[in-house]
Amino acid sequence: MDRESMDMFQKILEQLGKLDTRLDKMDTRLDKMDDHLKMMEIRQNKMHEQLTELQLTQKLFELNANKKFARLQDGMDTVEEILKMNALIPGIAKAAI
């Protein structure tokens, strides 16, 4: 092989070496990005679980609150009827017996 061809191959090998170094650096950076994405995915999954738990807690609260309000309304209706029966508040007049 002549000297000119060897110089050209040497330059090509140098360029390939530089390219290999750059690719190694890119690979390292991509690995770091991949790690960050995995961490974000873990956090997102945790947040999803917490949100689901919060939604369930809210539904249970609404259910219990509605039951308590219904019970409270029943109690208030009873008190109102008793007060009406004793003519302490205006309401339907006592039926003649």
Across residues 33-50, what is the average pLDDT?
98
Across residues 25-29, what is the average pLDDT?
96
Across residues 48-67, what is the average pLDDT?
97
Query: Which of these, 89, 88, 82, lies nearest to 74 by C-alpha position?
Result: 82
Mean pLDDT of the chain: 91
Distance CA 58, CA 51 (A): 10
What is the DSSP track for 49-89?
A: HHHHHHHHHHHHHHHHHHHHHHHHHHHHHHHHHHHHHTTSS
Q: How many residues does the chain have?
A: 97
- Yes or no: say if 89 and 83 are a contact pair by the CB < 8 Å rule: yes
Residue scoring higher pLDDT (57 or 96)? 57
Q: Using the predicted structure, report yes or no on whether residue 27 has a pLDDT greater than 80.
A: yes
